[in-house]
Amino acid sequence: MLHVVLVEPEIPPNTGNIARLCLAAGARLHLVEPLGFSLDEKALRRAGMDYWHLCDVKKWASLQQLQATEPNGRFFYFTTKASKIYWDESFRDGDFLVFGRESRGLPESLLHEHAEACLKVPMHAEARSLNLATSVGIALYEAKRQIAA
């Protein structure tokens, strides 16, 4: 199983789209607090996430807490600041694909600490960034493609 990790996601519809992607891909979604929205039933319905109960979702107080429970896990950090392109990585079953918040991405300190595991989705210089759900979809399905090959 692949794992998608959202660190401090801010926008409920993006998280809903990513949860749907994870459900479709058979991946587990990990949400790292603080969240920019509520996970209560009313808030989820309002965001159009009526399938949420079908999704494999875990919530964590911190990324360090998640990493401590998966000491042998391979974590890849997606950022526009990386030099390595995601398709040049060899993904394996059980990998963790980590994405930052919509407004700021992942913390610079985290990227610096794990520079060898940072990946990017290439794009034209004129584009500031891709939508978070789009980036997750691109990376998740490339990892699935590689594992299935």
Domains and CATH numbers, the chain: 3-148 (3.40.1280.10)
Per-residue confidence of the chain (149 residues) as pLDDT tens digits?
999 999 999 988 888 889 989 999 999 999 999 998 887 766 666 655 677 888 899 999 999 999 999 999 999 999 999 999 999 999 999 999 999 999 999 999 999 999 999 999 999 988 878 899 999 999 999 999 999 97
> Do 81 and 118 contact (CB within 8 A), yes or no?
yes
Q: How far apart are CA 94 and CA 99, in angstroms?
A: 16
| Amino acid of residue 35 | L
> Do 24 and 2 contact (CB within 8 A), yes or no?
no
Residue entry with tokens 């919530």: 59
